[in-house]
């Protein structure tokens, strides 16, 4: 089984679940998960976690995201994008500067109401499933943040802007809300996610590129895939500690380790300090924390080679 994270460039027309399904076929393993839904009509960065790296999903989902969005002014739809049913139309008669002013007014923290056409659940049911049945329910607004907003291109009734946002923010809803403030309505016409946390679109590979790279590296007999980021690289800020060979079984059983289980040359960690723990031959075991004189397991990632 492969363990690590691949930066996928999702293409238009594919669901995030479809990306995971294709990745399962490419790698021949079931334990794969993505780090945040990207609408079928949207494209861009979608980090995908393989094997034990699926334990990173929740952490990676909390990171900020950067998008480039095309907004269509003068049209309001039920889905808040151009794929939906038109509810009303009114021409935008303002200037580029007026649009820029309204766009930038959304910078900062604010409350946003999630759209009905979303994967959020209410009482165990996805909002999108209710919406498709013509049912609208009350959604609780939640705090989101938009920053680094920049107008990239303007040619009324369309404009392209860049924005970085917090986890849980909807760019479709931002476009809708901009339209409401402009007084003419608006919806999202196109969306590209260019960054998720530290994953950027310049490093992302399409599914076809991933399949080709994997086949090529399989043929070369590579021990590790160059495009799969190893799990321990996400904890580079933590110090590395190796354990004695005699302590390996205790570590693999999830038992707390003693300070004497650490290799002699290792500096003893401070109380409550986190660390990356490795076997004596350099295989990553997991994240540990020193508590009350013991080294206690927090996240287990070990997989024998």
Dmax over CA atoms of the chain, in Å, equals 76
Q: Assess whether 211 and 242 both reside in one domain.
A: no
Q: Assess whether 22 and 108 both reside in one domain.
A: no
DSSP structural state of residue 229: B
Q: Assess whether 175 and 87 both reside in one domain.
A: yes
Residue 240 lies in a domain: yes
Counted domains in the chain: 3
Residue 190 lies in a domain: no
Q: Assess whether 103 and 40 both reside in one domain.
A: no
Residue 142 lies in a domain: yes
* pLDDT (tens place) for every residue of the chain, 305 residues total: 899 999 999 999 999 999 999 999 999 999 999 988 888 899 999 999 999 999 999 888 888 999 999 999 999 999 999 999 999 999 999 999 999 999 999 999 999 998 877 777 777 777 777 778 877 777 889 999 999 999 999 999 999 999 999 998 999 999 999 999 999 999 999 999 999 999 999 999 999 999 999 999 999 988 789 999 999 999 999 999 999 999 999 898 888 999 888 887 667 788 899 999 999 888 999 999 998 889 999 999 987 65
Domain range for 258 is: 235-300
Residue 228 lies in a domain: no
Which CATH number do you get for residue 274?
2.30.130.10
Residue 134 lies in a domain: yes
Cα dihedral value 192, 198, 202, 206, nearest 10: -70
Which CATH number do you get for residue 36?
3.30.2350.10
Q: Assess whether 15 and 91 both reside in one domain.
A: no
Residue 258 lies in a domain: yes
**Structure tokens belonging to residue 43:** 């494209």
Q: Is 39 a catalytic residue?
A: yes
Q: Assess whether 211 and 270 both reside in one domain.
A: no
Q: Assess whether 242 and 284 both reside in one domain.
A: yes
Q: Assess whether 51 and 113 both reside in one domain.
A: no
Contact between 148 and 136 under an 8 Å Cβ cutoff? The reply is no
3-state secondary structure string, 159-216? EEEEEEECCCCCHHHHHHHHHHHHCCCEEEEEEEEEEECCEEHHHCECHHHHHHHHHH
Q: Which of 39, 81, 177, 189 is catalytic?
A: 39
Q: Assess whether 98 and 128 both reside in one domain.
A: yes
Cβ-proximal residues to 85 (8 Å cutoff; 6+ apart), any chain: 77, 78, 79
Q: Can you give the pTM of this predicted structure?
A: 0.88
Residue 112 lies in a domain: yes
Q: Assess whether 250 and 208 both reside in one domain.
A: no
């Amino acid at each position: 089984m492969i363990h690590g994270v691949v930066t996928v460039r999702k293409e238009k027309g594919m669901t995030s679940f479809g990306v995971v399904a294709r990745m399962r076929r490419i790698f021949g393993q079931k334990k794969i998960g993505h780090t945040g839904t990207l609408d079928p009509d949207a494209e861009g960065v979608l980090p995908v976690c393989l094997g034990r790296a699926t334990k990173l999903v929740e952490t990676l989902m909390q990171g900020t995201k950067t998008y480039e969005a095309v907004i269509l002014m003068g049209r309001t739809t039920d889905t808040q994008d151009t794929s939906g049913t038109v509810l009303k139309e009114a021409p935008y008669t303002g200037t580029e500067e007026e649009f820029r002013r309204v766009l930038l007014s959304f910078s900062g923290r604010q409350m946003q109401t999630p759209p009905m056409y979303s994967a959020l659940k209410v009482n165990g049911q996805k909002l999108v499933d209710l919406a498709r049945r013509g049912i609208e329910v009350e959604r609780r607004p939640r705090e989101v943040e938009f920053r680094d907003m920049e107008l990239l291109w303007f040619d009324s009734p369309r404009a392209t802007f860049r924005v970085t946002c917090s986890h849980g923010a909807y760019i479709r809803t931002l476009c809708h809300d901009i339209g409401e403030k402009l007084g003419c309505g608006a919806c999202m016409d196109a969306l590209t996610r260019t960054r998720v946390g530290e994953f950027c679109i310049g490093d992302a590979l399409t599914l076809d590129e991933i399949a080709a790279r994997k086949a090529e590296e399989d043929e070369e007999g590579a021990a590790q895939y160059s495009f799969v980021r190893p799990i321990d690289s996400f904890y580079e800020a933590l110090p590395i500690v190796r354990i004695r060979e005699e302590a390996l079984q205790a570590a693999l059983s999830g038992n707390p380790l003693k300070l004497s289980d650490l290799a002699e040359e290792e500096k003893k960690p401070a109380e409550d300090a986190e660390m990356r723990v490795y076997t004596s031959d350099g295989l990553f075991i997991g994240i540990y924390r020193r508590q009350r004189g013991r080294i206690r397991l927090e996240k287990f990632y070990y997989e024998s080679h």
